[in-house]
Amino acid sequence: MGQTGSKGTTLTTLKSIVQEMNQIPELDKALFRLATRVKHTVNVDSCSIYLADYEHQEFILKATDGLHPDAVEQVRIGFSEGLIGLVGQREEPLNIENAHQHPRFKHYDEVQEENLNAFLGTPIIHQRKVLGVITLQQQQMRRFSENEEAFLVTLATQLALEITNADIRGALGTNTSFGTALRQKNVVGIPGSPGLAVGKGFPPDRSFSLRTWVVRRTNSPQDEIQVYRKAVEITREQVDSLSKSLDDGIPDDVKSIFQLYHHLLDANSLGREVEEKVRQGWDAGSSLKMVVDAYATRFQEMDDPYMQERAIDIVDLSNRILTNILIEAKGKKIVEKQPLEDSILVAEEVSATMLAEFPRDKLKGIISIKGSANSHAAILARAMGVPAVMGCQSLSPALLEEKDILLDGYSGEVIVSPERTIRSEFIHLIEEEEAISERINAESDQPCQSQDGCRMSLFINAGLSAEAELGSANMGAGIGLFRTEIPFMMRERFPSEKEQVELYRQILSAAPDLPITMRTLDVGGDKPLPYFPINEENPFLGWRGVRLTLDHPEIFLVQIRAMLRASIGFDNLQIMLPMISSVGEVEEARRLIDQAFFEIRDEIKDSGERLNKPRIGIMLEVPSVLYQLPQLAKQVDFFSVGSNDLTQYLLAVDRNNTRVAGLYNSYHPAVLGALYDIVKQANVSQVPVTVCGEIAGEPGGAILLMGMGYRRLSMNAFNLRKVNWLIRNVNLSESKHLLSRALTSSSHQEVFLHLNQYLESKGLGGLIRAGA
CA 204 to chain centre: 22
Q: Which of 99-113, 266-280, 511-525, 628-642 has the lowest mean pLDDT?
A: 266-280
The pLDDT of residue 270 is 73
Whole-Å CA distances, 605 to 565, 615, 749: 13, 21, 59
Residues in contact with 409: Cβ distance below 8 Å, sequence separation at least 6, in sequence order: 191, 192, 193, 194, 195, 196, 197, 365, 387, 388, 389
Just list the catalytic residues: 376, 692
The yes-or-no answer to whether 186-203+337-433 and 210-330 have a common fold is no
Whole-Å CA distances, 322 to 71, 250, 308, 309, 748: 54, 29, 22, 21, 49
* Residue type present at position 73: E
The model's pLDDT over 571-627, given as tens digits with 9 standing for 90+, comes to 999 999 998 999 999 999 999 999 999 999 999 988 889 999 999 999 999 999 999
Of all residues in the chain, the percent with pLDDT exceeding 90 is 42
The pLDDT of residue 1 is 45
> Residue 443: pLDDT band by 50, 70, 90 thresholds?
confident
The pLDDT of residue 176 is 36
Identify the CA nearest to 768 among candidates 730, 734, 717: 730
Task: Identify the residue with better confidence: 50 or 474.
Answer: 50
Bridge-based pairing state of the strands 185-188 and 413-416: antiparallel
Task: State mean pLDDT over 310-335.
Answer: 72
The pLDDT of residue 72 is 93
Domain 210-330 bears CATH identifier 3.30.360.10: no
Bridge-based pairing state of the strands 76-78 and 58-65: antiparallel
The model's pLDDT over 224-262, given as tens digits with 9 standing for 90+, comes to 888 888 888 888 888 777 777 665 556 555 555 566 666
| In the predicted structure, residue 437 carries a pLDDT above the cut 50 | yes
The model's pLDDT over 15-28, given as tens digits with 9 standing for 90+, comes to 778 777 766 767 78
Please give the CATH superfamily to which domain 2-171 belongs: GAF domain (3.30.450.40)
Task: State mean pLDDT over 84-108.
Answer: 94
The model's pLDDT over 386-397, given as tens digits with 9 standing for 90+, comes to 899 988 876 778
Domain boundaries, the chain: 2-171, 186-203+337-433, 210-330, 443-761
| In the predicted structure, residue 5 carries a pLDDT above the cut 50 | no
Tell the burial category of 41 from Cβ atoms under 10 Å away from its Cβ (0-12, 13-18, 19+).
buried
Contact 620, 678 (CB under 8 A): yes
The model's pLDDT over 627-654, given as tens digits with 9 standing for 90+, comes to 999 999 999 999 999 998 899 899 988 7
Task: Identify the residue with better confidence: 503 or 618.
Answer: 618
CA 330 to chain centre: 40
| In the predicted structure, residue 754 carries a pLDDT above the cut 90 | yes
User: Which regions of 118-261 does DSSP assign to beta strands (E)?
Assistant: 118-126, 129-138, 185-188, 190-193, 196-202
Contact 310, 299 (CB under 8 A): yes
The pLDDT of residue 771 is 40
> Residue 316: pLDDT band by 50, 70, 90 thresholds?
confident
The pLDDT of residue 550 is 79
Of all residues in the chain, the percent with pLDDT exceeding 70 is 81
Identify the CA nearest to 529 among candidates 482, 578, 486, 561: 486
- How many CB atoms are located within 10 Å of the residue 581 CB? 17
| In the predicted structure, residue 50 carries a pLDDT above the cut 70 | yes
The pLDDT of residue 665 is 87
Residues in contact with 394: Cβ distance below 8 Å, sequence separation at least 6, in sequence order: 164, 165, 168, 187
The pLDDT of residue 244 is 72
The model's pLDDT over 466-499, given as tens digits with 9 standing for 90+, comes to 444 555 445 679 999 998 876 676 566 678 899 8
Whole-Å CA distances, 740 to 393, 684, 696, 723, 737: 39, 20, 18, 21, 5
Tell the burial category of 244 from Cβ atoms under 10 Å away from its Cβ (0-12, 13-18, 19+).
exposed
Grouping H, G, I as helix, E, B as strand and the rest as coil, residue 136 is strand
Bridge-based pairing state of the strands 457-462 and 479-483: parallel
The model's pLDDT over 704-723, given as tens digits with 9 standing for 90+, comes to 999 999 999 998 777 888 89
Task: Identify the residue with better confidence: 24 or 65.
Answer: 65
Grouping H, G, I as helix, E, B as strand and the rest as coil, residue 37 is helix
Question: What is the H or E stretch that residue 96 is in?
Answer: strand 94-96
CATH number of 186-203+337-433: 3.50.30.10
> Residue 302: pLDDT band by 50, 70, 90 thresholds?
low
Q: Which DSSP letter does residue 221 get?
A: H
The pLDDT of residue 334 is 60
Whole-Å CA distances, 757 to 666, 708, 753: 19, 19, 6
The pLDDT of residue 468 is 45
The model's pLDDT over 407-432, given as tens digits with 9 standing for 90+, comes to 998 888 899 888 889 899 899 888 87
Mean pLDDT of the chain: 83
Residues in contact with 541: Cβ distance below 8 Å, sequence separation at least 6, in sequence order: none
Hey, what CATH class is 443-761 in?
alpha beta
The pLDDT of residue 428 is 86
Whole-Å CA distances, 312 to 119, 261, 297, 326, 389: 49, 11, 11, 21, 16
Task: Identify the residue with better confidence: 11 or 3.
Answer: 11
Task: Identify the residue with better confidence: 743 or 299.
Answer: 743
Task: Identify the residue with better confidence: 445 or 54.
Answer: 54
Task: State mean pLDDT over 59-65.
Answer: 94
| In the predicted structure, residue 667 carries a pLDDT above the cut 90 | yes
- How many CB atoms are located within 10 Å of the residue 538 CB? 9
Q: Which DSSP letter does residue 553 get?
A: H
Q: Which DSSP letter does residue 333 get?
A: -
Identify the CA nearest to 410 among candidates 704, 18, 61, 697: 697
The phi, psi pair for 734, rounded to 5°, reads -70, -35
